[in-house]
A = this chain, B = another copy of it.
């Protein structure tokens, strides 16, 4: 159990935090799949070159995330950590994309309303800035665990009842169908990564400093007219994106 990569001091990130982050990726990489549990805290401490108490702080943090559970006298078992892959293509739909990787995929409508389009939204929807748009905020769950939160904007003149249909059907695809739009295409997706803010952490049960993958997407009808623009944040620990040309 020699120490592999030493932990960094005076980096502005506490040691327990660095250790928690590294254990999290080790779990995601399947490093402890054989045993299903972590090495003893004493061994981990030696491996990272820190005190056992520091490792314990890291494990407590991961336990609060629900990723591991420590049992006195037994060890620290791994409770989750599988990462899902969401395909992004011309026909990207959230539930269909991860549907075969999990037993339950749901979305929950958080909020909806009507407002004047901001400059950015207007440009993406190709409408005038003062026109009305419907805003819908929802979050996505896989096997009961929150993995994403989104804001969607629709042109209000074309889809005045979209929010009601989303609430009724629980799906944007089905809501579009109810608005006489049976099919639509993903025009573009812009991907970036950053630290989660307070609201995202609350919605997705993330720890401070967690990373989100943010996508900004535009969907169009088959004639190429924008019907929706969206901003979705995924928990980077749980989701990766597969872009297909």
A→B interface (CB under 8 Å): 5, 8, 11-14, 16-18, 20-21, 25, 61, 85, 88-90, 185-195, 197-198, 207-209, 211-213, 236, 240-245
CA distance A193 to B241 in the complex (A): 10
Residue of B nearest to A25 (CB): B194
A245 touches B188 (CB 8 A): yes
B243 touches A198 (CB 8 A): no
B12 touches A17 (CB 8 A): yes
For A240, the chain B residues whose CB sits under 8 A away are 190-192
Picked from B12, B88, B192, B236, the residue with its CB within 8 Å of the CB of A61 is: B12
A11 touches B208 (CB 8 A): yes
Q: Nearest chain B CB to A26's CB is how many angstroms away?
A: 12
Closest 9 CB pairs of A and B: A12-B17, A193-B193, A11-B208, A192-B240, A189-B243, A193-B236, A191-B241, A12-B14, A190-B242
CA distance A190 to B240 in the complex (A): 7
Number of copies: 2
Of the A-B pairs whose beta carbons lie under 8 Å apart in the complex, a sample of 15, sorted by A's number, is: A11-B17, A12-B13, A12-B16, A12-B208, A13-B14, A13-B17, A188-B243, A188-B244, A190-B241, A190-B243, A191-B241, A193-B211, A193-B212, A193-B213, A243-B243
B192 touches A245 (CB 8 A): no
For A187, the chain B residues whose CB sits under 8 A away are 244-245
CA distance A211 to B18 in the complex (A): 13
